[in-house]
Amino acid sequence: MAVPEVDKKIIGELEAMGFPRPRATGALHYSGNASLGAAIGWIVDHENDADMDEMPLKIISSGISWRIYSQLVNYSQERIQSGKQLIEAKRSLEENERKRNIEFRKPEKEEEKRARERIRRKLKQDKLERRVNLGLPPEQLVAEKRTPAVRIEQNPFPVRSVAKSERLRECLRSLRRNHKDDDARVRQAFQTLLIYVGNVARNPNEEKFRKIRLSNPLFLDRVGSLIGGIEFLELCGFETTEGGEFLYLPHNKVDMATLNSAASELKSALINPFFGLL
């Protein structure tokens, strides 16, 4: 057994590229000792072979030793073929697993879709009931004339719409009355609404503050599940998107006067212990 003789120049080039001498020697030997490209191609094709970095040996005798050499070559080829089959089997298993996961997710996605539709219908019904409780018509017949936008930081004495302020105040009173036996939850709702309103007022150009996912567990627990919570945000300009997935306040409908009024009414509700009870 001896190390096969290969082109020393090409070996040098392969080593300069970072390949160890055993791998470079084997690649050049098994690819026919022909060219740098052929050797690199062999390395790529056999990169997963366990004996890639073992120095190749050749049998220099003849006769029965040649038969042994042939057997070794055949054994090596069988190992290579077996390795390829294992890789293919693994790839097939991963693909089947991916397909099963897709099939498994289909019912879950359908259920999510149905859940969003149920939420959308419930929100629509709740909105109708809230409007009736507030003494408002089922559909608003006359669009309110909005006050020109005034940034909070530029106007320490914000202009307030008396009609809108009263509606906001009555909405909060209704929320308090409907949940009068759970003061802590009502207070938490007022605080959360103040955060939503304040974020938009301070960052009107940031879409993330003007978009609320209705199925968000935190939102549902603190605002969405309370009668009057969503109605208050709608009075601030938020709209339910098509499909009922989000509450969204379009940038061109941001009304600073309304947001100022909303913040003022929320702060009043938080500091007045008798708010909505008298």
Which amino acid belongs to residue 40? I
Q: Quote the pLDDT of residue 120.
A: 81
Q: Which of 198, 175, 173, 179 is nearest to 261 (CA)?
A: 198
180 domain-assigned: yes
120 domain-assigned: no
Residues 6+ apart with CB under 8 A from 135: none
Q: Quote the pLDDT of residue 89.
A: 81
80 domain-assigned: no
Q: Quote the pLDDT of residue 143.
A: 43
- Structural domain containing residue 209: 143-271
Where residue 243 sits, what CATH number does that domain have?
Answer: 1.20.58.2190
Q: Quote the pLDDT of residue 135.
A: 64
62 domain-assigned: no
123 domain-assigned: no
222 domain-assigned: yes
| pTM, rounded to two decimals | 0.44
How many domains is the chain built from?
1
- Rounded mean pLDDT for each run of 10 residues along the chain, 278 residues in total: 85 87 90 88 85 77 54 73 79 83 76 80 79 64 45 45 82 89 90 92 92 90 90 93 88 93 91 75
Q: Quote the pLDDT of residue 2.
A: 81
Q: Quote the pLDDT of residue 122.
A: 80
12 domain-assigned: no
97 domain-assigned: no
